[in-house]
């Protein structure tokens, strides 16, 4: 997958700017705050239909404007794909593929495989379980449309069930029959989601372990484990057992929306006990495993976006990234850095074609 050119209009700090990219390595360099990360984010936006850093669409529009447009031309298997994402204040976002607007954004997911490595990935360790579920769901959805659809149906049913619980509480009423309809749907969709997450992690964990071992020079062992209430119980029974609690809290407390990933190094929580270096290695291994997995599943090399990695990582990890950059079979790469010289030295050593883009 190659991004050939990109135009931004009123996207974050950009008024109007166009870029033509190298098919291998592109280095976006410039002072703090010039918009290097914003360019990477706009590429992410074309792939996922939203910003990696700020999912509130209206906040991606330039402060002085009332709309933004991101226009990118990709090349995939010798075919051109023109993707345009636009948003106007107060209106629904529009995503177009070759001039045709999608009815459902979910149809777009997976067309443009992109992986980003950024200091913001730290959220995967420090934030709540939702961030980790989104990471898993994002990867599976890249190659499995059914999964994404089941997930959307599950989430819709969940929110309807929660509304019903609130309605019961507000009106001091209860209707077991209507609740049962939602329960059945949650059980049906939840079972499928759980099974797919099991399959995914079975394939993903060895890839992750391999990446971590190579980053840490096999010094320590890591564990990535799927945690779910559905391992020990079926969702139908769980919903029945939890009914009184759900009614009291007006919220569904059991299901696959409670799943999580357990992240450990040497059997201890990465969040609580991991050193900063170990946490960074863990995150890079997760992201590179994401890259490997998507490549394996889609038979397409994803576009890799490296945000600020030279600035925020220590030498060992940078060396690993450099090694990765020099691998022949890597796809197109975008790197942002404040130091033009440092980046250029790194990419020069890769003996690959590159372009320096000064912002």
Ligand X SMILES: Nc1ncnc2c1ncn2[C@@H]1O[C@H](COP(=O)(O)OP(=O)(O)OP(=O)(O)O)[C@@H](O)[C@H]1O
Interface residues with ligand X (CB under 6 A) are 12-13, 30, 32-38, 59-63, 308, 336, 338
31 is known to lie in a ligand binding site: yes
Strands 354-358 and 25-29: parallel
Nearer to ligand X, 62 or 214 (CB): 62
Q: How far is the CB of 89 from ligand X (least distance, A)?
A: 11
255 is known to lie in a ligand binding site: no
35 is known to lie in a ligand binding site: yes
98 is known to lie in a ligand binding site: no
36 is known to lie in a ligand binding site: yes
Nearer to ligand X, 6 or 111 (CB): 6
62 is known to lie in a ligand binding site: no
Nearer to ligand X, 37 or 73 (CB): 37
The span from the CA of 337 to the CA of 310, in Å, is 7
Which candidate, 230, 313, 215, places its Cα nearest to that of 265? 215
Q: What pairs with residue 14 in β-bridges?
A: none
Nearer to ligand X, 118 or 252 (CB): 118
The span from the CA of 295 to the CA of 58, in Å, is 32
Q: How far is the CB of 92 from ligand X (least distance, A)?
A: 18
Q: How far is the CB of 88 from ligand X (least distance, A)?
A: 14
* Residue 51 CB neighbour total at 10 angstroms: 19
Q: What are φ and ψ of residue 23, in 5° steps?
A: -75, -15
Nearer to ligand X, 40 or 224 (CB): 40
Q: Whose structure tokens read 């050193």? A: 275
> DSSP letters of 141-205?
HHH-HHHHHHHHHHHHHHHHHHHHHHHHHHHT---HHHHHHHHHHHHHHHHHHHHHHHHHHHHHH
Q: How far is the CB of 11 from ligand X (least distance, A)?
A: 8
Q: How far is the CB of 343 from ligand X (least distance, A)?
A: 12
Binding residues: 30-37
Binding residues for ATP: 30-37
């Amino acid at each position: 997958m190659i991004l050939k050119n990109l135009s931004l209009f009123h996207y974050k700090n950009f008024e109007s700017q166009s870029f033509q990219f190298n098919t291998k390595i592109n280095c976006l360099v410039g002072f703090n705050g010039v918009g290097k990360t914003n360019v990477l984010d706009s590429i992410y936006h074309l792939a996922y239909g939203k910003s990696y850093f700020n999912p509130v669409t209206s906040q991606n529009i330039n402060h002085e404007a009332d709309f933004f447009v991101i226009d990118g031309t990709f090349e995939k298997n010798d075919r051109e794909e023109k993707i345009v994402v636009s948003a106007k204040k107060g209106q629904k976002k529009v995503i177009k593929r070759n001039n045709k607007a999608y009815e459902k954004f979910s149809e777009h997911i997976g067309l443009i495989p992109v992986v980003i490595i950024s200091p913001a990935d730290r959220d995967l360790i420090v934030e709540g379980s939702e961030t980790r579920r989104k990471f898993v769901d994002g990867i599976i959805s890249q190659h499995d449309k059914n999964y994404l659809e089941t997930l959307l149906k599950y989430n819709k049913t969940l929110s309807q069930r929660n509304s019903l619980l609130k309605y019961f509480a507000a009106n001091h009423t209860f209707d077991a029959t209507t609740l049962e309809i939602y329960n059945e749907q949650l059980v049906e969709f939840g079972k499928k989601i759980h099974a797919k997450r099991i399959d995914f992690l079975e394939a993903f964990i060895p890839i992750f372990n391999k990446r971590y071992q190579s980053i840490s020079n096999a010094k320590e062992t890591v564990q990535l484990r799927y945690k779910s209430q559905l391992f020990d119980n079926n969702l139908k029974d769980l919903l029945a057992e939890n009914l009184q609690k759900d009614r009291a809290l007006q919220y569904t407390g059991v299901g696959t929306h409670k799943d999580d990933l357990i992240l450990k190094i040497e059997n201890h929580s990465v969040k609580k006990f991991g050193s900063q270096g170990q946490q960074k290695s863990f995150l890079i291994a997760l992201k590179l495993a994401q890259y490997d997995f998507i490549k394996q599943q889609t038979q397409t090399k994803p576009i890799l976006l490296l945000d600020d990695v030279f600035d925020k990582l220590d030498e060992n990890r940078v060396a690993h990234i450099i090694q990765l950059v020099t691998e022949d079979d890597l796809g197109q790469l975008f790197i942002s850095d404040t130091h033009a010289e440092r980046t250029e030295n790194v990419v020069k050593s890769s003996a690959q074609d590159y372009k320096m883009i000064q912002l």
